Amino acid sequence: MSKRRKKGNDIHGWLVLDKALELTSTDAVNKVKRLLNANKCGHAGTLDPLATGVLPIALGEATRTVAWLMEAQKTYEFTIKWGLSTTTQDAEGEVVATSEVRPTTQEIENIIPLFLGEIDQIPPKYSAIKVDGERAYDLARDGEEFELAARKVQTYELKLIANDSISASFFVRSGKGFYVRSLARDLSHKLGAEGHIIHLRRTSVGPFKQETAITLENLEKMCIDAPALQLLLPFETALGDIPVLAIKEAEVFDLRQGRKILVLPPQMDELKAKRRPRNISGQDMSRAVLAVCDGVAIALGDVRAGYFQPFRVFQT
């Protein structure tokens, strides 16, 4: 039996997309996949339809590094409109409460420290979290009663940018699993006010910044007028803070066969010095190392007892 032909081309790398308003993350991926005629495509970190900004699109072998990028810090700019809260904590939902309270700048500044560091956060009911196998947003739209448990999340930075009698704008730098809509809800409640998000923009995901992001409209023009593939960043960009092991060309074959290779003592000491705590998809990856030959990423692996054992080999 002949192998089924792949649909699309083998394209490897990251595209930093500037997602437009009202576009879902899935639709964005599908449009990029079609424009570039790629056979494998995904994204790292969903953006709500009413949010704009950085949506890293993984192509080819980059899809195998998505889990690493999901752990990266993210930054957002958002605006809370005072006066009413909604079911979705944004402008899409139905109004559930109103208030005449308008927090002062000093009142907001006073509570910001309460939301820094590791905090407990209850995700929005209108989110993709699964409850007994069902998406929370599907249950919420069907009017089902359910509760979501609080989760530990990390806020590295939170700043008030502007505030008036109508709205307040903020900047936040957060860790994995953080919901800006939940932050807006909790800030409002702590202030004794009602509020919902009217503007949300993600400005960075790990190494990917809004300054280098491209809109779908401009990507389409690039596909017509110039080689759009020049926009792609190497797939190992998502692994930028992982210790690197330089290997010889003769060792590449062994790694691609899944065999371990010897690590010399000086290299071992250097890798140990660069090791840091790292949790990827619930697994301890503090010993993870990226093997590179002549600038080309070959494999991810563990370094133990003087050997590098690959657990993910890149085929490029």
Q: Is there a catalytic annotation at residue 48?
A: yes
Going by the DSSP 8-state scheme, the letter that residue 120 receives in this structure is E
Terminal alpha carbon distance of the chain? 26
Q: Of the listed 48, 138, 225, 254, which one is catalytic?
A: 48
- CB of 198 closer than 8 Å to CB of 81: yes
- CB of 98 closer than 8 Å to CB of 88: no
Query: According to the 3-state scheme, what is the secondary structure of 240-291?
Result: CCCCEEECCHHHHHHHHCCCCEECCHHHHHHHHHHCCCCEECCEECCCEEEE
d(CA 201, CA 79): 9
d(CA 71, CA 205): 9
| Residues carrying an active site annotation | 48
